Structure 1
């Protein structure tokens, strides 16, 4: 989720985090343990991770939302900037979250090519971008400048992007060409801060969060590639961001950005808190899993303290 720079909103969200009483992990089902911070990032340099994807060696490729950068964090915690996206013309304004240009979701293809979302409020730059190994960023798909592309997933040669302002899931080929409004279901709509946000493809469906409604939404991918009817599978999760699945079934992890927690959401929609601020969370924005290791990106958008990359052990 890309965030507003509004001081008033940050204050409200910070207070909500204090007022939400942490729950204890369930004695049954999956849980996270042994959390540790891999990298403490530079808040002054705006190294606030919005999204991440994993390299084969365990490095994390990340987007720094407001510095317009793509970076790589090694397993030892070293940070290397891979590219900086061009700035929009002076006076440009992204249509949400304080008006700044925002780098959102990121995905890695099998050949090391990175795809990421960039929103600026301008028709010339807003869209889905590509960064090949050793190359420079190039836009491959244009998106409406009136929206903000957020969560991103690469599946079957197509990029699916969640638009938090327009309440739309976009679908586009990695080869370029126009994006299609794959779904504009009411369950994706923005009502105040952000609608459709985190995104994943799993078990034949696109799954997304709606930040404003605190819900997870499932949309089947039909045989012809079109979207099936949206179904809300979990509610009451608070202000949430990204999602990641724990394995083959539909159990998932959700980043609770405002309450400073990671939630485990079961297929029946019930949920349990499995990480909190006491474990090192600082407004978690994004999740990724490799085997039994879960990566959690913490942007510290509202706490303003210690943006970091954390890992924890998944036990099922």
Structure 2
């Protein structure tokens, strides 16, 4: 486990995501707002660390999906596991994804097999992404309550499937690939994955490109970790329209979530800088939480009512993977 963390730390440092100072993005466009996230929060959120995970066993939480009772369903990247974390803080392992024959050493960029994106359906079924560098195991998995995980769609072993979102209207999943720089779709029933977009705004610049993803009624939103951008891709009869860069300068941006029903406020995890930020409709951002609040390479965030659920994987800090809870102010 220590070797895996050292490998990832070197890769993150090479990508520049451990640098807190925000540099202009190479994809900034005229008229695109640039985020500024280096200052202290103007309105710190009340927060606490609710759960500490076991770093020694690979419990590095990568992505989160919420249940109606407040249970958080998370993927533990290095452990290849899916877990349920109850509101009281108890953690139960639901499944472990199969280890590839080579142990995962051929997983692109990272060199170890990992579970990434997760979506929970209304009936409790979970869908999980797995990147292993192995054609026989890399893909989208379905995990029904009390069952073993079943692969329902193969994904390229040369890529790194990362973010996962479900479009209930079209009955299909959207999948980001951080190495190939693509967004693909997979039908709910499973089957063949098809590349939906390979726009240059999704590409990596050496480490990880397209990362988090969310479906809105009229657009697909995504992040690009290397380029430090938040992106909006209009849905035009299920096909992608021109990519709009909503915000730039978001060093190490990972997953994100929307606050409320509209697109007016986004909260996003900045992995290397150990920061959680809010981003408004104009692309301006401000810091909500930082390492001083216990963040350790935050990877994912979910919103339930006024509560933020923030996962930290401790990929490079190597200290305390955890789940933090924060309270949003009343509007």
TM tier relative to shorter chain: over 0.9
2:139 to 113, 127, 147: 127
**Whole-Å separation in 2 of the counterparts to 1:262 and 1:235:** 15
1:143 to 155, 164, 178: 155
2:243 to 202, 218, 230: 230
Aligned equivalent of 2:71? 59
Is 1:16 equivalent to 2:19 in the alignment?
yes
Q: CA deviation at 1:162?
A: 0.6
Q: Does the CA-based 8 Å contact 2:108-2:133 persist in structure 1? A: no
Q: Does the CA-based 8 Å contact 1:170-1:182 persist in structure 2? A: yes
**Whole-Å separation in 2 of the counterparts to 1:15 and 1:247:** 30
1:168 to 182, 191, 215: 182
**Whole-Å separation in 1 of the counterparts to 2:148 and 2:75:** 15
Scaled by the length of structure 1, the TM-score of the pair is 0.92
Q: Does the CA-based 8 Å contact 2:214-2:220 persist in structure 1? A: yes
Q: Which runs of 5+ in 1 are unaligned?
A: none
Q: CA deviation at 1:51?
A: 0.3
1:288 to 268, 288, 302: 302
Q: CA deviation at 1:272?
A: 0.8
Q: Does the CA-based 8 Å contact 2:11-2:207 persist in structure 1? A: no
Q: CA deviation at 1:222?
A: 1.7
Q: Does the CA-based 8 Å contact 2:133-2:157 persist in structure 1? A: yes
Aligned equivalent of 1:47? 59
**Whole-Å separation in 2 of the counterparts to 1:106 and 1:92:** 20
- Distance 1:7-1:289 versus aligned 2 partners, 3 A rule: closer
Q: Report the secondary structure of 1:221's partner residue.
A: strand
Is 1:110 equivalent to 2:122 in the alignment?
yes
Q: CA deviation at 1:14?
A: 8.2
Runs of 4+ in 1 over 4 A off after TM superposition: 10-15, 19-22
Q: Which runs of 5+ in 2 are unaligned?
A: 23-36
Q: Does the CA-based 8 Å contact 2:12-2:207 persist in structure 1? A: no
**Whole-Å separation in 1 of the counterparts to 2:286 and 2:197:** 29
Scaled by the length of structure 2, the TM-score of the pair is 0.88
**Whole-Å separation in 2 of the counterparts to 1:241 and 1:88:** 26
Cα offsets for 1:232-263 (capped at 9, x unmatched): 11001111100101112321011011110001
Aligned residues: 309
**Whole-Å separation in 1 of the counterparts to 2:253 and 2:155:** 24
Aligned equivalent of 2:29? none
Q: Does the CA-based 8 Å contact 1:32-1:313 persist in structure 2? A: no
Q: Does the CA-based 8 Å contact 1:261-1:275 persist in structure 2? A: yes
**Whole-Å separation in 2 of the counterparts to 1:14 and 1:236:** 11
Aligned equivalent of 2:200? 186
**Whole-Å separation in 1 of the counterparts to 2:185 and 2:261:** 24
Q: Does the CA-based 8 Å contact 1:4-1:96 persist in structure 2? A: no
